[in-house]
Structure 1
């Protein structure tokens, strides 16, 4: 038998005692304990209070180095003081620090010093999404025996960009041989590997530069799988390869950070997936390249949409997120619509000139964004572009226009806290509006990442969730 490797790293608890110090003061050593896991948080608990010995008055530290009693080296990044537990003797108190990133395997003096030539990680559901066959069976009819062979899938290139190349690769662990063994398992897992082409990449984006770091690229790649599977996905078991000073061979470090994982952490089913490997197999690098360009340049609308996929989010929150994401993605894709034309500016100036001076400033503020298209206009333009798919989904064009009105009116009511005007906005109607906005957003993004009209039509009609919703909508029209 064979099972994908579990996502142990996000649930793997680090709990080590050791010595800790600042790179600037390696002689000032504290005893303490590092504990936590990616699915919750990491903390460093120090005996005594650091501020009295170094950095008095500060409550945040960029880097803290350490070594466990077992000999493992650690670098802790972005540490924040959160509490102090006093005792009868002040020197024996315990200071507690939140740790944003834990690096196991090496000491770094600063975050800027961390430059990686390769980063790899697992993504929950990646094996399921990729669907690569790794096990082959052969039945011998004479001996009535079944032989099962494991063939490790070859790496598949999915990203080709100037900054890096990306692959889906598989790693496996053979079973241990035991006497009188009745069965065994091969643990295998798919991973994303990023190879940086010409120069190593920093761990995170620099505040003084526009270039993205490893974490930012990784987040955008993982977001693709969230959109493709229509579920919350996350990276786990992150490994980076760096070149130590004076060395000729790369070495590996493990990187832990707070993982954004679902509460239940359960696996998801295929029927919700919007994009699977067969859909992009012919040109994966093209689709991924367009996705990365879109997420890097637009950012917030994508994240708002992905936030609406969380089961534990309130429906009011989802409604606002989706309305804002649709408005934002339309603004990004149609930047000229938000540019003030000379004719519009001339008309506003004429209006202000004829306005009494007492009210001129007030009117000027009211007209400051009068050139911006309304939410209704933005939604109508997106709906017009995908009319055929929306008519299939809602039953007819009249229902599409009705749903646009429902979204516009209630978004304004939410924005201005007009609860008394939302009496008719039932939970059922709100859920219908949420599903409509999610469907429309998917249509827009599928087109932007390189799918043609026929491909989009095929994907949404074969999608179990959208097909089920379309049947329910047609009954209600």
Structure 2
């Protein structure tokens, strides 16, 4: 989670069941979403409780500027006990809900959740700002008409909107007139749903944005509302209380990326006529492909610090992807079962269990064949038949060596820059399949490859 300005606020904090026992403290939320609460003393003055209990499910607070806050899933990182003096304790917090307080075991549910991600304005590419200049008469006219919200119905019954927030210049403005616009996503539900359901969707949509923009983008500005939490402003009409949400989300990039639309794999305009289908196909893909998707995105986010680890994650991801999308076997299941039965008949009784274990996966195709099947739809982008064979053989030998350390494969493995180049091509294979998953046809995929300098550069590495 991106926190563009450090959140550091003083206040009083207490346990939901002990509101009378308030403790002063400082709540800090750093960029990335790391949350720490520093308090004077601790929440249970009994020495036995102080030494034994380190976890606290929920803490309530009242902080400057924001009012009520709810801190969920907390545990002590420093728990000091003072005998007659003043001591401070530190608590790591997994989640902050700013704007309201929940009871100890009360479920956190909402009807809406709004959020943004890095580079979203550039990806959406829609602006209501229009500037007309007349250089001869030294005049300029700036007008603004907010773009219409884009509404997409998701298969899970929720609605996903792409909305536009804006600010207009106030009065009087003598030397400056400023109009700003910001795109953001808004998830809406007719029923109250658990916050975790919303954040799971946010994670998946953020990964789609990472894929589309060719960049690790981070979520920011999470605000939720519930029809059960209302306030009455001066208008006299009740309105939902906006609840700001903070937590340590993934993916996260320390440096805020800057990306122009032509540097992206595709932008919103590319999918505008089928956007609902694209988002649904991507979200539905997580039902079957989440292990492969997570392995791919872990390599993009830098989870593997060494090249060997990145290579193995990509190779495993491609193998997992094929396992999840194909039921192909070496022979028909009934033929294989009959063969196994015949083999076991001739096995000494004391080795039968061992043999069954060895044969359990004997009908599966090997990694080389899986990779060949994976690249088949896109082989025209991966060189000649000879080039593709060498490329696949190198992946298999390198994977087997790094996994099993067979000495006979040592001289056949990729190392250094060659391994890096192979990783680049494996990433492209993932990209092409992800495009297929979200509904891009062959012509549209060819167009993406032709217009993406990044993909072409990766394909030319070897």
Is the CA contact (8 Å cut-off) linking 1:51 and 1:58 kept in structure 2? no
Aligned runs of 1:68-467 on 2, under 5 Å? Answer: 68-70=63-65, 72-85=67-80, 89=83, 92-110=86-104, 113-140=107-134, 143-177=137-171, 180-181=174-175, 183-196=176-189, 198-204=190-196, 213-244=197-228, 249-260=239-250, 261-310=252-301, 313-335=305-327, 337=329, 341-388=333-380, 392=381, 394-417=382-405, 421-423=409-411, 424-467=413-456
In 2: Cα distance, 1:178 partner to 1:246 partner: 34
In 2: Cα distance, 1:146 partner to 1:39 partner: 41
Instruction: Report the counterpart of residue 4 of structure 1 in structure 2.
Output: none
Is the CA contact (8 Å cut-off) linking 1:76 and 1:101 kept in structure 2? yes
With normalisation by structure 2, the TM-score equals 0.89
The two structures, once aligned, show a CA RMSD in angstroms of 2.8
Instruction: Report the counterpart of residue 235 of structure 2 in structure 1.
Output: none
Is the CA contact (8 Å cut-off) linking 1:159 and 1:288 kept in structure 2? no
Describe the superposition over 1:371-393 as per-residue Cα deviations: whole angstroms up to 9, x where unpaired.
332221211111223223xxx3x
Runs of at least 5 residues in structure 1 that lack an aligned partner in the other structure: 1-6, 205-212
Runs of at least 5 residues in structure 2 that lack an aligned partner in the other structure: 232-237
Q: 1:343 to 1:435 in 2, by over 3 A?
A: same
In 2: Cα distance, 1:165 partner to 1:142 partner: 49
In 2: Cα distance, 1:249 partner to 1:168 partner: 21
Count of residue pairs the alignment pairs up = 451
In 1: Cα distance, 2:397 partner to 2:260 partner: 35
In 2: Cα distance, 1:272 partner to 1:408 partner: 32
Displacement of 1:109 after TM fit?
A: 1.6
In 2: Cα distance, 1:445 partner to 1:354 partner: 47
Q: 1:362 to 1:186 in 2, by over 3 A?
A: same
Q: Quick check: 1:19 aligned with 2:12?
A: yes
With normalisation by structure 1, the TM-score equals 0.86
Displacement of 1:75 after TM fit?
A: 0.2
Match of 1:240, SS state, is: strand
Describe the superposition over 1:50-107 as per-residue Cα deviations: whole angstroms up to 9, x where unpaired.
35559663322221111125561100011122222455x3763322211111110000
Q: Quick check: 1:37 aligned with 2:30?
A: yes
Q: 1:254 to 1:344 in 2, by over 3 A?
A: same
Q: 1:52 to 1:399 in 2, by over 3 A?
A: farther
In 2: Cα distance, 1:150 partner to 1:437 partner: 45
Describe the superposition over 1:331-350 as per-residue Cα deviations: whole angstroms up to 9, x where unpaired.
11124659993432332233
Is the CA contact (8 Å cut-off) linking 2:14 and 2:43 kept in structure 1? no
Q: 1:139 to 1:34 in 2, by over 3 A?
A: closer
Instruction: Report the counterpart of residue 208 of structure 1 in structure 2.
Output: none
Displacement of 1:178 after TM fit?
A: 5.6
Q: 1:264 to 1:317 in 2, by over 3 A?
A: farther
Match of 2:37, SS state, is: strand
